[in-house]
Structure 1
Amino acid sequence: MSAGLDMLGENNWLSRHASAEGVNFINVLEDFLKLYKDVMKREEYLRLPLSLFSNSNLGVLEVVVKTLKENYALDYCKIAKFLGRDDRTIWTSYKNAVRKYSSEFKLDESGMFVPGVIFSNRSLSPLETLTIYARDVLNMSFHELSITLNRAYSTLWISYKHGKLKLEKNERTS
């Protein structure tokens, strides 16, 4: 085996230098993971699995806030700033979400994702935002969306239509 392909053996450059310098691989890995988690908390990386919104007992904003608070470890102030909402709204949404669903969400990395930043558009309701994104960007049908979100087809259709009308109205006035 060539020296370039020996990644785990004693010919590994990192192994030779780390052991020569007395570096602990576990510490290096822990530092890397901490840095990675910090980077992933940046606004441009905050993404929510579409499957999270399938809990029909929770509103869309409640799911977003609960996920950002518990899974991304953001405080109320940062969530409020990120979503362009009042701190009290975020606090209330989180408390209501925890009352309705106390377990922490498990983030499914295998499905479709929604960027958290789309929920900062205050001209649309969170459900309108979600349905427009799923239809126009993810190219999901209303049938697929109603199954994925565990919501009535008609509710999603109406949310989509209302959201589109609001966007058209905003474009005409600006």
Structure 2
Amino acid sequence: MILDGRVWKYGDDIKATDLVPPRYDKEGMQRLWDECAKHLLEDIDPAMAAAVQAGDVVVAGENLGAGHAHYYMAAIMGSSASGLKALLAESVNALFLRAAIDAGVATWSLRGISEFVETGDHLHLDLRTGLAKNLTQGTEKQFPPVGDVVLDILDAEGSRNWALRSVGAEHAIR
């Protein structure tokens, strides 16, 4: 899986409720992901949701996605609906990471990523090989590659589809 897009960089402790504030819980519970996307990071970066473009990537510091699991899907699916291609961070809350991968949203911990890019940089990252290129700064960095099973789940757009494909039930995939 190749990520290729503009970076939106944030600091440590970006919680699920920072991605989509809890005042939009009703929209999240109703699975109105496009509505959730309109409010992405609005308390931290009010202009971001309107400016994000398909393929863009959020890069954060430590502890991305912390918080109560109730808010995870609004944050994850709102991020995806906004056009974001990935959520990358120095570290990602384990439950948030699992929920994002299960939903087919590229989310991963990459130590050193926040020092490698700045907001507005153009990042090209091959998750299979771990090779990252900051096309704006003209630099490269090698990260540990993401495992094949995770990449297969992301390629299938989620663990449900991946599981159905794994047992030969392609006809049952949405």
TM-score range normalised by the length of the shorter chain: under 0.3
Larger radius of gyration: 1
The structure in which a higher percent of residues are strand is: 2
In the superposition, the TM-score normalised over structure 1's length comes to: 0.24
- TM-score scaled by structure 2? 0.24
